[in-house]
Amino acid sequence: MRLLAVAFVGLSLVVANAAQTPATKKKAAPKSTKATVAHAAPAKSKAGTAKTSATKAGAAKSKRVVARRPPVQLQPTTDRYKEIQQALADKGYFRGNADGTWNGESVDALKRFQKDQNLDADGKIGSLSLMALGLGPKRGVAQAASEPVAPPPVAQPQP
């Protein structure tokens, strides 16, 4: 009868241990019964972390899934294409009409410009190409040079 009770306790420990996921499993203190001999000792992995035999057997690891946001801007607007074509025309690279239609002539003009600027001449509108054309980000640089900005007020301690 005592042997049956020990076997039942050992079996329930194995079932409870297998039901826990590796992320929630807590290391239990070893019991002094013979049933704990059936448990495998943790094996060291190449990275030095302990793994149980269940993870070696191919148990599924839970991965956190992060949703990716689609890019906000898929392609430049027609007006932006006009700005780029006009900037290329002003620098002598684009000979067509700056109508906002991005075609082979526009790509060729951009490639020639990129090559002369020692940029990657791929014909793609990138941030470095836009900055070289003078169409980079507008962050109030002209405003800061013409208007002095007052420093923020300093808080005075109250008596």
DSSP letter string, 106-129: HHHHHHHHHHHTTS--S----HHH
Residue 115 lies in a domain: yes
Q: Which amino acid is at 31?
A: K
Residue 51 lies in a domain: no
Q: For the chain, what percent of residues have pLDDT higher than 70?
A: 53
CATH number of residue 107's parent domain: 1.10.101
Residue 107 lies in a domain: yes
What's the distance, Cα to Cα, between the start and end of the chain in Å?
83
Residue 108 lies in a domain: yes
Between the ranges 9-13, 19-23, 99-103, where is the mean pLDDT highest? 99-103
Q: Which amino acid is at 95?
A: R
Residue 6 lies in a domain: no
Give every CB contact of residue 22 below 8 A, 6+ residues apart in sequence. Answer: 52, 54, 55, 59, 61
Residue 20 lies in a domain: no
Residue 56 lies in a domain: no
| Cα angle for residues 149, 153, 159 (degrees, 5° grid) | 170
Structure-token pair, residue 19: 């039901």
If phi > 0 it is left, if psi is from -120 to 50 it is alpha, else beta; for residue 76 that is beta
pLDDT digit string, tens, across residues 26-82: 555 555 555 444 455 555 555 555 555 555 555 567 788 888 877 776 788 999 999
Which domain does 125 fall in, by range? 78-137
Query: Which is more confidently placed, 116 or 58?
Result: 116
Q: Number of folded domains in the chain? A: 1
